[in-house]
A = this chain, B = another copy of it.
Amino acid sequence: MNPETKVVVDTLWVLITAMLVFFMNLGFACVEAGFQQSKNCVNILSKNFVVFACSTVAFWYLGWGLMFGDGNPFMGLQGLLMITGADNSPATGDAYQGVYSSIAWTGVPLSAKFFFQLVFAGTAATIVSGSVGGRIKYFSFILFSFILVGLIYPIGGHWIWGGGWLAKLGFWDFAGSTVVHSVGGWAALMGAIILGPRFGKFGPKGEINAIPGHSMSLAMIGTLVLYLGWFGFNPGSTMAADPRLMGHICLTTNMAAATAILSSTFTSWIFLKKPDIGMTINGCLAGLVAITAPCAFVSVPSAAIIGLIAGFIVVPAVIFFDKVHVDDPVGATAVHLVNGIFGTIAVGLFAQDWVSPNTTGNGLFFGGGVKLLTAQLTGVAAVGAFVVIASAIAWYVLKMTVGIRVSLTEEIEGLDIGEHGNQAYPDFVTRKPSYRGVGITESLGAQNSGMKSSASKKEYNEVLR
């Protein structure tokens, strides 16, 4: 193909798939809002909206350079601020002259590279929004989003996609089960732990109370938008219009989602007696997260098996986080963290050399031994340790300074009024949230420190009145 033509078709593919990934912002907003209470709906929508604005500014100002700038194995050090480093994209390989050489394998203009990577960075940040929903201060969430996309995400990303030490180790993550989803998932988990659970989620004797989401329609809209967006996320990560690979990745991505929908549906049917729509939705997303790392390295039947497993494990994973009293209102950790890890490991098990020659080689199940699997496990552990520490520091610094949790009165009334002065559905008659017979004083006694620190004696009394 004419080199000029190749730049054009590659750019078409990269920009169009980037737009699909951008659209996942709507998917996350709808799923996370639908799975939470109507009294917090404006707040969740606002968080999931503003987060992409924060991501844009943070990734442009600093994140891009830290992630893709030439530097050491741990972070980029050149062309750091506002993408101002030298660059002669779309030149590739030896013809490339610039400071973003780790991404010089794709022959598209720098603007297209940045736009594509930006929408991925935004995804990691938006994952956090769901887990901390219903009790976080809006301003603190905005600050955390800047930190995550400006610092934490790009450093982890540099290790893998920026030519850093994990890339050199032979760790493979095609479209971001680790780089995006488990980074977002770990940050979300730390947020949920440090904030503490929503009032009423866990009773004084450790009972787990379901707090049902306010709109399954909204959640389903979000899910199918995310599913569509994943056809940008995974096939787009070729960052080149390679017909064979684009088509193959569409199939592996779709197949894993499909088998995960079926396995989560039947798993919840068996364990919870009925096919719960929340489990089916999270099953689908789990399958999509799990196939994200291996989508370009495994066969379609392997993708079917990966999806089956992902759809199964999301059900016990959701139950597990409830059991250990981590309050994740939307199941983001079960989906993005647990299945981000599983998908990354699945590369080490299911990879086959013929799918993308000269990349992963064969995984354990196809005669490749444990070398690839070991690299994958190393990456999972290293990225996990880094994000847990870095995001915990960030959350604690925010807690000590601006505070991270709203008052108890505001939480009970709903964050829409307290944080935004808005109501999501003012024309409709809504139910007062019941706390299911849990006496407020008793319940407060059982709350963890994150809770205690933000609700004063006076506030308790106001609630009790």
Residues of chain A touching chain B, judged by Cβ–Cβ distance below 8 Å, are 1-2, 4-5, 7-9, 11-13, 15-16, 18-20, 22-23, 25-26, 29-30, 33, 37-39, 41-42, 45-46, 49-50, 52-54, 56-57, 60, 82-83, 90, 108-112, 114-115, 118, 138, 212-218, 220-221, 223-225, 227-228, 231, 235, 241, 243-244, 246-248, 250-251, 254-255, 257-259, 261-262, 265, 272-278, 280-281, 284, 300-301, 304, 419-431, 433
Contacts and interface: CB of A to CB of B under 8 A. Distances in A.
B431 A277 contact: no
Given A12-B13, A220-B45, A224-B25, A115 B57 contact: no
Given A228-B22, A431-B429, A49 B223 contact: yes
A26 B228 contact: yes
A1 to B, nearest CB: 5
B420 A258 contact: no
A56 B255 contact: yes
Contact of A243 (B8, B39, B42, B428): B8
Contacts of A38: 427-428
Contact of A29 (B213, B224, B419): B224
A413 to B, nearest CB: 14
Nearest 9 interchain pairs by C-beta = A111-B247, A56-B258, A53-B261, A26-B224, A11-B243, A274-B421, A112-B247, A53-B258, A38-B427
- How many copies are assembled? 3
A418 to B, nearest CB: 9
Given A111-B247, A428-B38, A235 B15 contact: yes
A112 B221 CA distance: 26
A272 to B, nearest CB: 7
Nearest to A24: B224
Contact of A251 (B115, B235, B280): B115
A20 B20 contact: no
10 contacts: A11-B247, A22-B254, A39-B427, A50-B262, A60-B300, A110-B247, A115-B251, A217-B218, A428-B429, A429-B429
Nearest to A249: B111
B112 A11 contact: no
B420 A259 contact: no
B250 A23 contact: no
A132 to B, nearest CB: 17
Given A5-B9, A46-B280, A217-B218, 11 more contacts: A50-B261, A52-B261, A53-B262, A54-B262, A109-B248, A114-B251, A115-B247, A115-B250, A213-B426, A214-B427, A215-B424
A82 B224 contact: no
A355 B275 CA distance: 49
Contacts of A50: 261-262, 265, 280
A1 B11 contact: no
A23 B428 contact: no
Contacts of A277: 42, 45-46, 420, 422
A65 B9 CA distance: 32
A235 B14 CA distance: 13
A340 B300 CA distance: 34
Nearest to A261: B53
A46 B277 CA distance: 6
A251 to B, nearest CB: 5
B215 A112 contact: no
A29 B5 CA distance: 38
A401 B16 CA distance: 47
Contacts of A110: 247
A244 B41 contact: no
A308 to B, nearest CB: 10
A377 to B, nearest CB: 30
A465 B19 CA distance: 54
A420 B219 CA distance: 15
B231 A19 contact: yes
Given A228-B19, A275-B138, A277-B420, A425 B111 contact: no
A235 B115 CA distance: 13
Contact of A30 (B8, B41, B221): B221
A431 B427 CA distance: 5
Contacts of A216: 41-42, 45, 422-425
Contacts of A426: 212-214, 431
A52 B265 CA distance: 13
A258 B45 CA distance: 15
